[in-house]
Amino acid sequence: SRVDIATPKRTKDIIGKHGFSFKKSLGQNFLIDMNILSKIVDAADLDETMGALEIGPGIGALTERLAQTAKQVTAVEIDPRLIPILQDVLAPYPNVQVVHGDVLKVDLQEIFKQNFTDVRKVSVVANLPYYVTTPILMKLLEERLPLQNIVVMIQKEVADRMAARPGGKEYGSLSVAVQYYCEPELVCTVTHTVFIPQPNVESAVIKLKVREVPPVKVADEAHFFQVVQASFAQRRKTIANNLKARYFNEGGREALEAVLSEAGIEPSRRGETLSIEEFARLSDVLLAANR
Ligand code: SAM
């Protein structure tokens, strides 16, 4: 019978057979632990009616498990040296498509149209390259793809920021952006020993349940995200000082105070204390005032 890819022995065999060497610059830390793979795949709520999009399949450890669980799997890999390896090890799984490309550059709408024709919904499942975690997740969310959820291994510190609630030092513009599109849930933290080679940061698996509609309604989304960014521009400054720097010129103090008062926000508060509802109200009042 077949031997699973995600074991230390089979991984070393595949790497040795193909003379593969790890590229640190591509965030290549491969999974060699079946238990952690089970946790990731279980969290994605896949079944034989679902599609799975994997980013960075490596030598296919996770891809293989996805192929056994979902109806259709598409895996996007940037490293050309891995494409023939993936074609070899994944040959037993006709429901897998390997796409060679940079996930930040490929046309995901087109991939969804071509590859996920016959599935109910799609989950993104990945052990992400840590150097591009945030751009990848923001691209997936901003494109409003028909996603059920996103289950990804990322740096623990980034997972904590995504799931952070108002009031703590981990709460910032990333928390608000992620929580606008999703409900985050930490699945587990992960020790270094499940990877080869071992990364030098702590890791965690996070599940982002994609919302049908955002938790707040704003007049202008781009403006909302800009206000959030501005509010955290200098974390030690008050909301009034951060907004003044971005939206009001000298002498705009009164106008600024009127905006904050109408939005029901004390000028002495800091961005990190504002809920997503408060940011939404602030964004709308500010937009109306600046028209
Ligand atoms: N999924 C495999 C596993 O769990 O063993 C490999 C995970 S490894 C952390 C990240 C993978 O993403 C590598 O295979 C790397 O080559 C690939 N990668 C890095 N940047 C990428 C990008 N911009 N687009 C697509 N794949 C990328």
Q: Is the ipTM of this complex over 0.90?
A: yes
List the beta bridge partners of residue 182: 210
Kindly state if the Cβ of 127 falls inside 6 Å of ligand 1.
yes
pTM of the model: 0.95
Which residues lie below 8 Å from residue 1, measured CB to CB, with a gap of 6+?
none
**CA 49 vs CA 39, 40, 209: distances in Å:** 20, 18, 18
Tell me, in angstroms, the distance from the centre of ligand 1 to residue 57's CA.
Answer: 6
Nearest atom (ligand 1) to Cα of 11: 5
Count of C-beta atoms within a 10 Å radius of residue 51: 26
pLDDT tens for the chain, 291 residues: list them.
367 999 999 999 999 999 999 999 999 999 999 999 999 999 999 999 999 999 999 999 999 999 999 999 999 999 999 999 999 999 999 999 999 999 999 999 999 999 999 999 999 999 999 999 999 999 999 999 999 999 999 999 999 999 999 999 999 999 999 999 999 999 999 999 999 999 999 999 999 999 999 999 999 999 999 999 999 999 999 999 999 989 988 778 899 999 999 999 999 999 999 999 999 999 999 999 987
Count of C-beta atoms within a 10 Å radius of residue 107: 11
- Please give the DSSP secondary-structure letter assigned to residue 26: G
Residue 62 annotated in ligand binding = no
Cα 76 → chain centroid: 15
* CB-CB contact of 56 with 79 (8 Å): no
d(CA 140, CA 274): 25
Nearest atom (ligand 1) to Cα of 199: 9
pLDDT at 1 (0 to 100): 38
d(CA 185, CA 266): 30
Q: Cis omega (within 30 of 0) on the bond before 197?
A: yes
Alpha helices in 70-186 (DSSP H): 82-89, 108-115, 133-142, 156-163, 173-181
pLDDT at 250 (0 to 100): 76
* Side-chain half-sphere exposure of 116, counting CA atoms within 13 A: 25
Residue 127 annotated in ligand binding = yes
Residue 102 annotated in ligand binding = yes
